[in-house]
Each structure stands twice: as structure tokens, then as C-alpha cells.
Structure 1
Amino acid sequence: MSNGRIITHLLHRIGRRGASLAFIGLLCLVIAASLEFAPAAQRATPGYATLAAIAPLSVWAVAWCATGALCLVQMFVRSDRIAFAVATALLLLYGLVYLLSTFSGENPRGWVGGAVWLAFGGWIALIATWPEAVSVDRLPSAPPTDTTAVVVADAAGVIQSWNPQAATLFGWSTEEAVGRPLTMLMPQRFRDPHSDGLDRVRSTGHSTLAGRIIPLVGLHRDGSEFPMALTVNAWHSDDGIAYTGVIRAVGGSDVDPE
């Protein structure tokens, strides 16, 4: 695999939020190093002296290092809100320290650094609200997207969004489908494993099926079954984990329920 494909695969794996956490994590490690290994002349500057008056610079360095490590670890998992919250809190604390040093007279130009740190903290807080981008038009060997059903559900497996192609595939109109459980789209034998899977994702924050093409059996409104291919993505919304399923009917008479 070429370097370009490796990078593309990695970015697809971690998403925009993960890429942002990678940048934040590396920046935190750089800040930690600048505090721990600052020369004596730099330690005597007003900004560093203000920080040292609150806690030793080595303590600040440990805080930044731990935050950076947390960001770099959580960039690979779906449940990344702790990393964003800790990074935002530390940046806002830094900004407030610089602003207060301006008002106390210890660092007359501390308001400049304070404004920068606060703006950076606000930027990270904004990134934390991003949902993961979900691609519905890159399903390998799939027909054009105007024949692909797309279903969005919340953490409890309740349908939140339903496109016209899904209505055609399953026989339920948008008004009838939205607000009802995903289990209505699957035969009875699949419903308990489906519920167990949702419980597992809610407890771990991670889906092992995300991004994979899964052969399944769908249930039409009239009670007939049909083989289908499902690609599911788990992402974070303001209300918690949500799911987007990209579905297409496939040929064949039998699909292994496992």
C-alpha cells in the first residue's frame, strides 16, 4: 500500500474529529516541552513568571503532556469527548491566567496571549460539536446513489431520517417510518442480536461494524424478505451516538444471518 493510500485510509478511519485531535495532541506535547525545557532567560519573562507563581512549570508541563497523550489516544476511538473537554478546559484556563496577569499588572501585555489562548479554546470547543462526516456515495460496487437507501437512527435504534429510496425498498413512507425502531426492517431472528449490539456500542462508544459492508436480510412491509448489503457508520451528534445505514438490495436468495 502506497504512502498516499495509507494516509487516506488513516484519515478515513479517524475522521475530521480525529485529525483535529491529532493536531491538538501534538501541539500540547510541544507546549509541554517548551515549559519543561525553557531556558532561564525565558523562565524570567512575565508570561512564564505568571504561570510559575500559580504552579511550578513542571506541573504545567505534565498537564499539557497528559492532555496531549489523551488526545492522541482518543483520536482513534469514537468516544472522544473527554479529550476535547480536557483540551478546551486547559486552554481556557491558560487564557484566563494570562488575562488576570494583565489586570494585576504582572504581565502588562498578557491580554494578547490571553486572547489567543481563549480563541484557540473556543475553536476546539467548536470542533467538538462536529458530527463525523458520513459518506453515502462511496459504497464499493454500489449502484448510483439515487437507488441507495439511507436510514439515520439514534442511539436507541429509533429511525430519525428516511430517504425516498428507503421507502421504496422497505415499503414504508417517511411519515410511517420516522420514530419507529429499526427492528421493523429486519426479520424476528435478527432483532435480539441487533439490540445487543446497540447496547454494546452505548456502553463502549465504539462500533466494530462501522465502515464494513454487511450482508443481511431485510423485511419488507408486506412481510417478504430480501437480501441486502448494509454499510453502517456510527457518529456523534449533540444527543449522543447516532447511526447512518447505507442499504442496497442485492441478488441472491439466501444471506447468512451471522
Structure 2
Amino acid sequence: MTVCNGSVLGTFPLRRVLRRVGRRGASLGFVGLLCLAVAGSLLFAPPGLAATPAYTVLTAIAPLPAWALAWYATGALCLLQMFARSDRIAFAAATALLLLYGLIHLISTFTGDNPLGWVGGAVWLAFGGWIALIATWPECAHQPDLLPGAAPMNAAVVVADAAGVIQSWSPQAAAMFGWNTEEAVGRPLTMLMPPRLRGPHMAALARVCADGHSELTGRLIPLVAMRSDGSEFPVALTVNAWHGDDGITYTGVIQPMGAGNAVE
């Protein structure tokens, strides 16, 4: 088992897990815990609280245990998908339930069933809007500032940690390899290369971790890459290694090679 800067390849320390979760996952975790808290308040509401206008409005639509089940299922889904590469279902479910809850409270104000329902309605609608904003806000691909010179416009920029796990994925990389950001981040770099090259790649990572130096850093390396559909194509790779608190971070600039390409 290879140790690199205090971390063991193939394991997932807390920092790596937190980095993989990211802002979207952290938001889902917060919403998931909120949903579980709401489910508990509905399921174990004392008789006095269950008789308040806010609760009677909900009971008129569905029994409180049914509402609690909806909140519990949404919370569990959010907590599960905060670690997944695809989180769209959790975001959609959370947004829909929060907006529905807010609309019910808001409408109950105009019907007179709950005069103060607009307060809760505003809060729930704001939460729902916040989740919808996070779900639809485009993520900016991280482009390291330490690269020696600007990368060509058609070059893909990929950042990986010491274990060879992808941490950042540029739009050019998505166009070049056919994997979107959600599908690529958190997966090993070996997904980008033919199976015959994966063993030498892992051996090279182990050597770099052992001595902290790579002779390939900064050089233009001709390689064969593999798209998501399994097709292979020639590329030129430039690798730079950065040493930080989290260990070694690799930044790769990948340029396609073909007829008329300046790299070739």
C-alpha cells in the first residue's frame, strides 16, 4: 500500500470526502437534516401544536403522518445524493416540497384559515428558491493560476489529487472526453486512458509519491486517450505537480493531436 504525504492511496480521508461533497453536496446535507427535523416535528407534534392553524391547514390536505413521510423521504434522498455524482433528483424533490409547503402556507393566508401563514410561506418559498438557485447555478470550472503560460483554447485542464482522483474538470475536458463534470469529478484518471495504459499510470503515481519527484513534470508528453464511448485518440499532455497541505496536486493540460494541430 503506497503512502503519499500522509495519505494512503485508495482510501478517502475526511478532507477528500469534504472536497468531493463540495458546495452542492453541503447544501443538500443541510436541507436533508432540515427535512428530517420537519418530519419529526410533524410526526411527534403535541396535541396543542397540532391544533394550531398551520397544522390544521396541512391536515385538511393530508394526514400529518403522510406529510412527515414526504419530508423524511426527501431528507433521506438529500443525504444520500450529497455523496453521489448525480444529485438532480434530490435537488428537484427538495425544491418541489419546499415550494409546495410555502404555497400552502401563503394561500392559507388569503383564504383566512391561517392569518399569519404568509410568514411561514415567505420562509419556505425563500428556502425553495435558494435550493433551486443552487441546483441550476452553473459551476465555474477551476483553472489553476500557477500554470506556466495560458493553456490553448482547445486544451482540456484536469486537476487530480495524489491518488489520481479527478478534483476539477474544465468545459474543454467535457467536450473532449464526453464526460460531464458530475460524471468525471471523483473518479480516477484511469477512466481517460485505454486499459493497457492504466497499470503503468498507477505505477508512475506510486513512484512520484515515494520520492516526491517526477521527471515528466513540465514536459510535453504524447499519449493515447480514451473517450466515454471507448474510442481512442492521440493527445499531448503537460503535467505540473503542486505540493500543498493536502499533499500533491496534479494539473494536466491536454491538447488533441491531429492534422494541422500545432502540438503535433
Q: 1:104 aligns with which of 100, 111, 117?
A: 111
SS at match of 1:101: helix
Deviations 1:64-104 (A, max 9, x none): 00001111111112211111111111011001111111111
Assess if the C-alpha contact under 8 Å between 1:149 and 1:246 holds in 2: no
Assess if the C-alpha contact under 8 Å between 2:35 and 2:75 holds in 1: yes
Alignment: residue pair count: 183
Q: 1:51 aligns with which of 55, 58, 67?
A: 58
Q: How does 1:128-147 map to 2 (within 5 A)?
A: 128-132=135-139, 134-137=141-144, 144-147=146-149
Q: How well do the aligned residues superpose, as a CA RMSD in angstroms? A: 3.6
Q: Determine the structure 1 residue equivalent to 2:252.
A: 247
TM-score, L = length of structure 1: 0.59
TM-score, L = length of structure 2: 0.58
Q: 2:78 aligns with which of 48, 59, 71?
A: 71
Identity %: 52
Is structure 2 residue 29 aligned with structure 1 residue 22? yes
Assess if the C-alpha contact under 8 Å between 2:20 and 2:186 holds in 1: no
Q: How does 1:145-156 map to 2 (within 5 A)?
A: 145-147=147-149, 149=151
| Shift in CA distance, 148/69, structure 1 to aligned 2, threshold 3 Å | farther
Runs ≥4 in structure 1, deviation > 4 angstroms?
Answer: 211-216, 224-231
Find the aligned partners of 1:136 and 1:48 in 2 and give their Cα distance. 50
Unaligned runs of 5+ in 2: 1-5, 158-171, 193-200, 202-220, 225-233, 242-249, 255-264
Unaligned runs of 5+ in 1: 139-143, 152-158, 164-177, 183-193, 232-244, 250-258
Assess if the C-alpha contact under 8 Å between 2:31 and 2:75 holds in 1: yes
Q: 1:93 aligns with which of 76, 96, 100?
A: 100
Find the aligned partners of 1:211 and 1:133 in 2 and give their Cα distance. 21
Find the aligned partners of 1:145 and 1:60 in 2 and give their Cα distance. 52
SS at match of 1:128: helix
Assess if the C-alpha contact under 8 Å between 1:147 and 1:248 holds in 2: no
SS at match of 1:49: helix
| Shift in CA distance, 56/126, structure 1 to aligned 2, threshold 3 Å | same
Q: Determine the structure 2 residue equivalent to 1:236.
A: none
Is structure 2 residue 126 aligned with structure 1 residue 119? yes
